[in-house]
Amino acid sequence: MTGFASPAARAAFIAGLPKAELHLHIEGSLEPEQMFALAGRNGVQLAFDSVDAIRAAYAFSNLQDFLDIYYQGMAVLLTEQDFYDLTAAYLARAAADTVRHVEIFFDPQGHTARGVPFAAVVGGIARALADAEARGLTSRLIMCFLRHLPEADAEATLDAALPFLHLIHGVGLDSSETGHPPEKFARVFARARSLGLKIVAHAGEEGPPDYVWQALDVLGVDRIDHGNRSLEDEGLVQRIAQLGLTLTVCPLSNLKLCVVNDLARHPLRQMLNAGLKATVNSDDPAYFGGYVNANFTAVADALDLTRAEILALARNSFTGSFLPAETVATHLAAIDAWDLATR
């Protein structure tokens, strides 16, 4: 084990390592206890009679079972305070994992379709982010379009977001990837870019390498979410490396959704060795087995990651963020200080 006396020593190093999280769906941080509490507060009838029953349902074995429970969970989120509480709970866990900066996805279409006002969604999330920023945890908010819906729906969502663009830093593309290529959303992403928004997209998680090419060439992404299947195309790997784009990789999510069947076969090291700026993130942590430190530790143990590799992943999380260069430099210095202090 290069650079560590034991797995426990490596886990302790990871626990105190400054890091950013760049791939986190706020709706996917809804823990069973909070789902049950919000259902009670809002008078929402769940198909579960206890927290334990919800937790058992979280032990899904395929994507559809995950989506079923995921959307049931979203049904308890109705008021601005609900979105504040959801976001504040995640931010507390992130801070405990020595996360210094977060870039959070939210899915407004999943809420407005249920009659929840856009203002309630973004207002609650943004208020929690502001409170955390006052405590030193910075953030960016990224609005995702649901790719299984028509582009016209995404256009309407962007229209609804216009009064709130001072709170939103970017747009993304998520939900069911296969059969819904990025090119389907070319016009709305071009419009978002013209409004000054950063562009990211889920690509190459389940979908083919061609979807990653489309994200690059059609959408003009500033960052790629997941991107695992990029490794199937050497020309694509070279292009991503040449552009210096960051990949937001989610190891426990990949395992839970069978993108990989064993973390020991996860392509994270392969990405780093290919010159790609990979990062480690938690995706939907309440559903996929843990927050960012759990992801770091699990994949580090499975691949026997070295100190240098772990440091590279942490540095990539800041250099791949949408923070200004001077702030990134401050965080990189903090990583160097932790490295020096723990030798």
205 counts as catalytic: yes
Q: Please count the other Cβ atoms lying within 10 Å of the Cβ belonging to residue 235.
A: 9
Q: Are 239 and 221 in contact (CB under 8 A)?
A: no
Beta bridge partners of 19: 99
Beta strands 170-174; 246-249: pairing state: unpaired
Read out DSSP for 103-143? EEEE-THHHHTTT--HHHHHHHHHHHHHHHHHTT-EEEEEE
Collapsed DSSP state (helix, strand, coil) of residue 216: helix
Beta bridge partners of 74: none
* Type and span of the H or E element at 234: helix 234-243
Identify the burial level of 2 via C-beta atoms within 10 angstroms of its C-beta, where 0-12 means exposed, 13-18 middle and 19 or more buried.
Answer: exposed
Collapsed DSSP state (helix, strand, coil) of residue 23: strand
What whole-number distance in Å separates Cα of residue 86 and Cα of residue 78?
A: 11
Dihedral in degrees, nearest 10, Cα atoms 335, 340, 342, 343: 140
Point out the catalytic residue in the list 21, 80, 177, 205.
205
Identify the burial level of 210 via C-beta atoms within 10 angstroms of its C-beta, where 0-12 means exposed, 13-18 middle and 19 or more buried.
Answer: middle
Which residues belong to the active site?
A: 205
